Amino acid sequence: MNGPETPGSSGEHLLQQQLGTTDRAAVFYDRQVHPYLTPAMREFIARQNMVFLSTADSRGACDASFRAGPPGFCVSLDDRSLTYPEYRGNGVLASAGNMTENPQLGMLFMDFTHDHIGLHVNGTVRLYTDHEIRAWYPLLPTETAPGRQPHLWVHLTVEEAYVHCSKHIPHLEPAPRPRSATQRSRPKDSAYFPEPLPVHQASEPAGAEAGRPSWRDRLRIRP
């Protein structure tokens, strides 16, 4: 936010001046950007089963991620706040870790199937345990993911919410995940994007893995 009365950052306003879009942007800010969730926005969020996240650490290093669950897994608590469950996943906790350093969170809800529209929700967050947040909001859903319990809840205080226009949003149809022979034979997730070996290591004998440098060492020795 650029200020209490003017949405947007100083950088975007500068570019608007340079590219001659200031008046057009002003119309968008006036008609589409809200410091709260409208009733239609809250209904939209309640129907969504996925959201894209944008976080950054204290240095500004960014991370983009994705969350999914049954419709309504992300709960609009009122017109100024929403919350969603955070799980341990692969144990890295990159998004939640960034939030502990920099509480700014950008969320993008996308409807690829019915209305082909998106909703941006930006604001500041705090992390709560499942016990803590249910003490304040006891009616939060319990089945946010089958067989899993939330490790944390992300609570966002809304600073701005606005539409993402339908242009170029592809149409996607929900379908059961295929169980083809091709999928069964694909590499595991952890091996799906392997790092190519240097030429001199490509023919190493079995068992040579233990002698290779760790990822920290590889980062240090790369030019």
pLDDT digits (tens, 9 = 90+) for 89-110: 888 999 999 999 999 999 999 9
Domain 34-164, CATH number (from 3.40.630.20, 2.30.40.10, 3.20.20.140, 2.30.110.10): 2.30.110.10
**Nearest by Cα to 147 from 57, 98, 87:** 87
How many CB atoms neighbour CB 37 within 10 A?
22
Query: What pLDDT score was predicted for residue 182?
Result: 56
**Nearest by Cα to 65 from 52, 83, 50, 84:** 52
Please give the backbone phi and psi of residue 44, each rounded to the nearest 5 degrees, phi first: -60, -45
Query: What pLDDT score was predicted for residue 174?
Result: 86
pTM score over 0.75: yes
Query: What pLDDT score was predicted for residue 3?
Result: 47
Distance between first and last Cα of the chain = 39
DSSP 8-state code for residue 170: P
Please give the backbone phi and psi of residue 123, each rounded to the nearest 5 degrees, phi first: 175, -160
Predicted confidence (pLDDT) per residue in 29-51, tens digit? 999 999 999 999 999 999 999 99
Q: Which residues contact 15 (CB under 8 A, 6 or more apart)?
A: 21
Q: What is the DSSP string of 103-138?
A: -EEEEEEEE-SSS-EEEEEEEEEEEE-HHHHHHH-T
What value does the mean pLDDT of the chain take? 86
**Nearest by Cα to 108 from 41, 54, 157:** 54
The answer to whether residues 153 and 142 touch, using CB atoms and an 8 Å cutoff, is no
Higher pLDDT: 83 or 222? It is: 83
Going 56 to 57 to 61 to 63, the CA torsion angle's sign is negative
What crossing angle do the helices spanning 10-19 and 22-32 adopt, rounded to 10°? 130
